[in-house]
Chains A and B, each alone.
Chain A
Amino acid sequence: EVHLVESGGDLVQPGGSLRLSCAASGFTFSNYGMHWVRQAPGKGLEYVSTISSTGGSTYYANSVKGRFTISRDNSNNMLYLQMGSLRTEDMAVYYCARDCSSAICYTDYWGQGTLVTVSS
């Protein structure tokens, strides 16, 4: 069974940094692209970032480009999101999600999410 467990969410001040982690299990992690998707309180889903199965390609939403970095450790089945220069509008539940393949297609599994609060 596919399992994605996020961690690292916390209260951080504007301008601060945070690293989110996602532990994957139940599938061959190195065969799949992975995404981060966020949801602000009471709002819809918003795409954040994608990394290819090998880590060789990364993509970002314009709203986080230059501030966030996605990475992965295929040896340990881990996905990361390094977040910097945080703004109040970055406050959201962040979901780790699996792509349906090694290339880019739809999201077929979601984690339970981790809450990032940005406030002074």
Chain B
Amino acid sequence: QPVLTQSSSASVSLGSSVKLTCTLSSGHRSYIIAWHQQQPGKAPRYLMKLEDSGNYNKGSGVPDRFSGSSSGADRYLTISNLQFEDEADYYCETWDTNNRVFGGGTKLTVL
């Protein structure tokens, strides 16, 4: 079963950029993942699907400021020109035949 590892928190200034990391466990480096955003007090929202090639497909209405990339077992979510509304928890998700797993989430604070 795959395991996803995320940093617990990040703090970044308004208007700057941040790159969040989700790392796949050994033996699962080729897995596709999805990124989700959960703003305080709200339900999660799908952001994008991200392949090991670095190709990504965003969900409806996701701003251009959000992009994805990959390197080996690492999957990245980059947010540019950070806005206060980007302050949220970010989760990565992956799956195989019988399992679905989520990373522990990264709490992003916009200063």
User: Footprint of B on A, CB under 8 Å?
Assistant: 35, 37, 44-47, 50, 59, 95, 100, 104-113
Contacts and interface: CB of A to CB of B under 8 A. Distances in A.
Interface stretch (B14-22, B38-46, B69-77, B80-88): B38-46
Contacts, number: 60
A104 B32 contact: no
Contact of A45 (B46, B95, B98, B102): B102
Q: Give the secondary structure class of A's interface.
A: strand
Contacts of B36: 45, 107, 110
Contacts of B103: 44
Given A44-B89, A106-B33, A108-B59, 9 more contacts: A37-B100, A44-B91, A45-B93, A106-B49, A106-B94, A107-B93, A108-B34, A108-B46, A110-B46
Interface residues of B, number: 25
Interface in B92-111: 93-95, 97-105
14 contacts: A37-B102, A44-B104, A44-B105, A45-B36, A45-B105, A47-B99, A106-B94, A107-B93, A107-B100, A108-B59, A109-B46, A110-B43, A110-B44, A112-B43
